[in-house]
């Protein structure tokens, strides 16, 4: 059932501006504290009264592991689709999507803020590990991007890398081309088809998926830069448990979409928010998660900077290996 409160929040999230993020996040928090039984019980066990929470940093963030063990849901509705993680390190996460179009529209807005209209891009997706299973939110996003591209040779490339290489060789100067790939597939492609792609935006999504030895992001980028004669490798940051993405243009520091904000907390004190630049446990406010939970404590360590950008440094020692993250030194 569509409520007036949900309709108002959906509209506000779509039109979010940086200055209004915290106020809207607090409205979403109160909405979810009332309508999400799991989140409400979590707050009760912590003896946290939602009415007394007036700052973003004071919100208790739900551990991301609950997506593996519970149906995280705000309101009473049947999911249109269910996104699942690869489960590389064990049990897979499940993120219920009330409406697929909501996820896709939010992903489009995030990408286009950084890179411009999708219609202007040739989208070449090299995502074999994701295409070989069902439930990947990354594949759903890439498929939508491909459909909105005006270039007829945009598409997925599961094993037909000869055709991918031919398309790249035949590109014309000035054509905007995005090569989006999982790390191991990009490395395989670089070894077999080295070429000058200095005018192509190469974007890695992380992850070796057990196909190759884990390496650092710097090592990955250096290998790809050498093979493709390009000055920088872009990165996409996404999680099954988040409906918003962040992008890096080569620095390893991510800029979040308008609906996403990162915070860092003390590793041993989940309620102690850290000042900018201090490494800690990364937590995310994702307003696009309106129908599930917008306040997620991850198992990643990172830094959040004063301007809202963030950096992923590694994993908590007690956390499972996660397929979508690169190992870092």
Query: Which DSSP category does 104 fall into?
Result: H
pLDDT at 210: 56
Domains of the chain, by residue range, sit at: 4-79+258-315, 102-237
In this structure, CATH architecture of domain 4-79+258-315? Roll (2.30)
Tokens of 241: 């448990």
pLDDT in tens, the chain (329 residues): 468 999 999 999 999 999 999 999 999 999 999 999 999 999 999 999 999 999 999 999 999 999 999 999 999 999 999 999 987 667 899 999 999 999 999 999 999 999 999 999 999 999 987 888 889 999 999 999 999 999 999 999 988 999 999 999 999 998 999 999 999 999 999 999 999 999 999 999 987 555 667 778 899 999 999 999 999 999 999 999 999 999 999 988 999 999 999 999 999 999 999 999 999 999 999 999 999 999 999 999 999 999 999 999 988 876 443 434 333 33
**Which of 313, 262, 260, 267 is CA-nearest to residue 289?**
260
Q: What is the rounded CA–CA span in Å between residue 6 and residue 177?
A: 38
> How would you class 129 by CB atoms within 10 Å of its CB: exposed for 0-12, middle for 13-18, buried for 19 or more?
buried
CB count within 10 Å of CB 14 equals: 15
Query: Which tokens hold the place of 287?
Result: 């307003």
Residues 265 and 273: their CA atoms lie apart, in Å, by 4
Regarding the domain delimited by 102-237, which CATH topology (the fold level of the hierarchy) does it fall under?
Rossmann fold (3.40.50)
3-state secondary structure of 82: strand
């Amino acid at each position: 059932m569509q409520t007036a409160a949900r309709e108002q929040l959906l509209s506000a999230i779509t039109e979010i501006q940086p200055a209004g993020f915290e106020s809207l996040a607090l409205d979403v928090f109160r909405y979810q504290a009332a309508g999400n039984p799991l989140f409400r019980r979590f707050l009760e066990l912590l003896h946290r009264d939602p009415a007394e929470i007036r700052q973003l940093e004071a919100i208790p963030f739900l551990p991301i592991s609950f997506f593996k063990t519970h149906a995280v849901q705000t309101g009473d509705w049947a999911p249109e689709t269910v996104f699942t993680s690869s489960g590389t390190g064990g049990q897979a996460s499940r993120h219920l999507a009330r409406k697929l179009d909501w996820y896709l529209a939010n992903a489009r807005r995030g990408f286009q803020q950084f890179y411009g209209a999708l219609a202007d891009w040739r989208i070449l997706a090299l995502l074999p590990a994701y295409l070989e299973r069902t439930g990947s939110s990354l594949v759903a996003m890439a498929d939508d991007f491909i459909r909105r591209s005006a270039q007829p040779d945009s598409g997925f490339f599961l094993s037909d890398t000869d055709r991918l290489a031919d398309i790249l060789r035949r590109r014309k100067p000035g054509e905007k081309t995005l090569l989006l790939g999982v790390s191991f597939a990009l490395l395989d492609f670089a070894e077999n088809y080295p070429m000058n792609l200095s005018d192509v935006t190469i974007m890695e999504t992380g992850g070796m998926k057990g196909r190759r030895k884990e390496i650092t992001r710097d090592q990955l980028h250096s290998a790809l830069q050498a093979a493709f004669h390009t000055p920088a490798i872009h990165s996409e940051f996404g999680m099954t448990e988040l409906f918003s993405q962040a992008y890096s243009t080569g620095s390893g520091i991510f800029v979040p979409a308008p609906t996403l904000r990162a915070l860092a907390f003390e590793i041993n004190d989940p309620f102690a928010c850290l000042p900018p630049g201090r490494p800690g446990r990364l937590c995310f406010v994702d307003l696009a998660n309106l129908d599930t939970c917008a306040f997620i404590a991850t198992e990643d360590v990172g830094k959040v900077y004063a301007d809202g950008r963030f950096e992923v440094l590694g994993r908590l020692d007690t956390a499972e290996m996660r397929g979508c993250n690169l190992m870092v030194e």
